[in-house]
Amino acid sequence: MAGVTEFNDSKESLITKIRKRDGRIVNFEQSKISNAIYKALLATGKPDYPLAERLAARIVQRINQGYSVDSVEKEKQSRGVPSVEDVQDMVESVLIEEGLSETAKAYILYRHERRKIRDEKMKILNKRTLDEVDKAFDINSLRVLAARYLLRDGNNEIIEGPKQMFERVATLVALADLMHDQQVFSSAGGYTQDIREAEKYYTKIDDFDLKLKIGEYYLNKYHFEALIRHYIHLASQGQAKVGFKELLRLIAEGRLATYEQRIKEYYNLMVSRDFLPNTPTLMNAGARLGQLSACFVLDMPDDMYKIMKSSTDAAMIFKSGGGVGINYSDLRPEGDIVASTSGVASGPTSFMRIIDTITDVVKQGGKRRGANMGILESWHPDIEKFVTAKTKPGVFENFNVSVGIWEDFWQALVNRDGNHKYTLRNPRTHEPIKQIDAQQLLDLIAFSAWKSAEPGIIFFDNINKYNPCMSAKGGPLRATNPCGEQSLYPYESCNLGSINLANFVKRKADGMYEFDWQRYEQAIRLSTRFLDNVIDMNKYPVPEIDANTKATRRIGLGIMGIADLLFLLRVPYNSKDGYEFMNKLAEAISYYSMEESVAIAKARGPFPLFKQTDYVKGRIPVAGYYELPKETHAYDWDSLIEKIKKHGIRNSWTSTIAPTGTLSMIADTSNGVEPVFALVFEKRVTVGRFFYTDKVFENVLKENGLYSDEILTKIANNYGSVRGLPEIPEQIQKVFVTAIDIHWTDHVMAQGVWQKWIGNAIAKTINMPGDATAEDVKCSYLLSHEIGLKGVTVYRDGSRHEQVLHITGKNTGEKSFAVKPSRYIVDYVRANIKEPYVLQQMERIFKDAKVEEAQQEEEQPKHVQQMVQDVPERERKVIIPPPVPMESNEDEICPSCKGKLVVTEGCNICIECGFSGCGAS
């Protein structure tokens, strides 16, 4: 092949361009030929990339030989340029000449399949041609975008493609950077501008539709409206250095055109799928609604006028595309006196029904129902009724419900004296109502969750342990968004976004992958600026939310794709290496996002409440800084804290891991911090059935010559797992684990590893098999609290009255493997859990799971043995209510496409169209 290389060097200029199917002339890339041939070789059991490169070089040589000087001259006139079809025909010929008939056949089938895919994409997007972004996204991603995100006209026809969607989002977000240009903005303030002059332009937004531009990007009327809105905010703070007309002149004259580059940066960040913002931002940025946040919290005081005000505000939030969390604990209990009417109160659950009904009536942005979190704290007299409210089908279907727990309940629960009495109090008078047994209440919560997957538990003591804003906000955090990962003060909102970890790998010379830490840092920093800008460009549904959100400027940067990343790196999820790697990823995202937030604060100022918070004392909302040994920290947190004290920080919190069901479908990666739901599952459609296979796993099967319909069927019938299948090599079984392969204790451990470094909380489901007991559920709460989680949602397979999507094939039998806790979690519990009651309960779990039993007894530390022995025998028993027959109900179907729903990250997610019960996805 030396001759080929020499020939290519001498004739390299002959092939510089290629004609695409839509007629565009683009740069020729030989690597695309190599990749296409490699896929054909891979499909026929010949994963030989060097061979693919040699064949590609031969094809290039042959094309060059077919082009004379005359044809080069024609190329300059856009004639004589080889087309994509010409090159593909040449590939077929060369493969056949080389005796690779099977590979040629695979390549021909590949071309046919690609043609079908192109046709399907054009049908989905209502287009005659595809642009580069359309081609880069797979069919499932485009279906999700078309169903929920792309703008439509009055006839419900799609009027933009993914490229145009990302451009309108990037343009809006970059306007915040433009508005903080030194020609326009002063952090110190002191300027007076005529705000009324700017307000008059609200009546002219139609006139300015597509009249101004930043470089090559035109501002539509909703961009222009947001520009007015943010200018008025800055002017009201005395920070606008120029009048509004002067700002328009600067834009029109191109004196701010350099921000075109920032638009491109945000655009590329999203198009590459390195990062995606939460659903409302993709839907509404640069569009009519203009509401960009996923998470909201409202209060519910014991006052009828304020209750109705909150209900109205909830409706406005649903209409704008958000979800709502409400703590109902301030409402007087059922049967309490109502002095104004001489009647009796109906209790918190009756007022939940108001919000539940509103949710049914108002669709989010006209596209889906809203989502709610209903919270009642453990001390409320109606707590037992609340706990069991959702054990029957059809009750509060628009709500996730959670019990809020504080330190006093925990102390009653683990009291070493055996006195577990816990006082319930009237929220109106604060007087004691009665005492209950804390352990029996936890048993009831555990049983209800075992039966119906609800309620969840929110640990308010852990949430507020490092809360730097308690003094500034006048008290602790007491509510979260619908999926529980984002705690907020009343009338506060948060915009979220997720970095796709699976994108940050680079292939080494030996064909294996390594993580690109430098690109990860760059993405964290740019995504932090993106989310901070969203706060400024947002159109909030009610004025109080606008004011409270800007007072704290909280953002929630998180991740998705951890399962696929670990697959690529060949690291088992539930292993020491897996946990240590996740720990480093988590520390990085909080450190770099906070450091970048300090950099933004230097230029634009810290969040307004900064000086009233504990940040000025050097406190930060990151547990890992305090709870993990400094020698294990990967970054210099002390220096960062000094920077915060000196310069302030732009955002009160920066990190959250949200559910990413829909975003993960767009990004074509795994959900959030979850392991994959199944490696293979069967999908039945009207024309037949086919298997959905995790893309990384599929490639590994092909590379090892294992890919076949027979093996896919076996995996699907094994609950989507490869565990226990003799056809699958042990190393592949070890790496490619699913949610069902992982013991619930390791699910808790994984969430705990991330929680040490994430400022807010984490949306994750603690998966349990169908034969898990209520005692397992209870112990998951005990372990979660001690590990430091801020909330926990347990899902036992089959526990919901609505049956979720089956991951199994038709002839599924018993799974052929047992799930055990990892050695890592066993060692961690024994070394770190000091509370005797919790430790004793966990030892029972380990014993029942038969975790390397003989080795356990030998290695069990003496302090563990003693602590278990010190727990009275009666405390070792768990009170479990008798089982209640489940009421039958039809399968839960997606309200958008009528597909089946999957439970993941605490939410119902449709894998067909991307519908999610949570607003962040």
Residue in 327, 467, 481, 717 annotated catalytic: 481
List Cα–Cα distances, 778 to 461, 766, 773, 774, 879, in angstroms: 18, 12, 9, 6, 10
907 is catalytic: no
The span from the CA of 878 to the CA of 856, in Å, is: 23
Question: What does residue 459 show for φ and ψ, rounded to 5 degrees?
Answer: -95, 90
Residue in 160, 485, 786, 892 annotated catalytic: 485
Question: What does residue 716 show for φ and ψ, rounded to 5 degrees?
Answer: -60, -40
Largest CA distance in the chain: 100
The span from the CA of 488 to the CA of 317, in Å, is: 15
Q: Which helix (H) or strand (E) holds 326?
A: strand 323-327
Q: Which residues, in sequence order, are bridge partners of residue 436?
A: 422
The span from the CA of 921 to the CA of 915, in Å, is: 9
704 is catalytic: no
- Residues whose CB is less than 8 angstroms from the CB of residue 280 and which lie 6 or more positions away in sequence, other chains included: 291, 292, 293, 294, 320, 321, 322, 365, 495, 919
Structure tokens belonging to residue 519? 């690109």
List Cα–Cα distances, 107 to 112, 113, 766, in angstroms: 9, 10, 43
One-character DSSP codes across 705-761: T---HHHHHHHHTTTT--TT-TTS-HHHHHHS-BGGGS-HHHHHHHHHHHHTT-SS-
Cβ–Cβ under 8 Å, residues 546 and 187: no
Cβ–Cβ under 8 Å, residues 175 and 223: yes
Measured over the CA atoms of residue 51, residue 52, residue 57 and residue 59, the dihedral's sign is: positive
The span from the CA of 757 to the CA of 29, in Å, is: 42
Cβ–Cβ under 8 Å, residues 171 and 217: yes
Pairing of strands 791-796, 456-459: antiparallel
The span from the CA of 327 to the CA of 489, in Å, is: 10
Pairing of strands 17-19, 25-27: antiparallel
The span from the CA of 778 to the CA of 748, in Å, is: 13
Residue in 53, 327, 454, 483 annotated catalytic: 483
Q: What share of the chain is helix, strand, coil (3-state, %, to 5)?
A: 50, 15, 40
The span from the CA of 267 to the CA of 164, in Å, is: 10
Residue 717, phi-psi category: left (phi > 0), alpha (psi -120 to 50), beta (remainder): alpha
485 is catalytic: yes
Cis check: omega of the bond before 455, within 30 degrees of 0: yes
Q: Which helix (H) or strand (E) holds 909?
A: strand 907-910
Q: Which helix (H) or strand (E) holds 907?
A: strand 907-910
Nearest to 365 by CA among 274, 430, 284: 284
- Residues whose CB is less than 8 angstroms from the CB of residue 747 and which lie 6 or more positions away in sequence, other chains included: 739, 764, 765, 766, 767
The span from the CA of 197 to the CA of 463, in Å, is: 45
Alpha-helical regions (H) of 788-822: none
The span from the CA of 95 to the CA of 707, in Å, is: 23
List Cα–Cα distances, 293 to 143, 531, 545, 708, 774, in angstroms: 23, 10, 11, 44, 36
Measured over the CA atoms of residue 118, residue 119, residue 121 and residue 127, the dihedral's sign is: positive
The span from the CA of 672 to the CA of 658, in Å, is: 7
Active-site residue set: 481, 483, 485
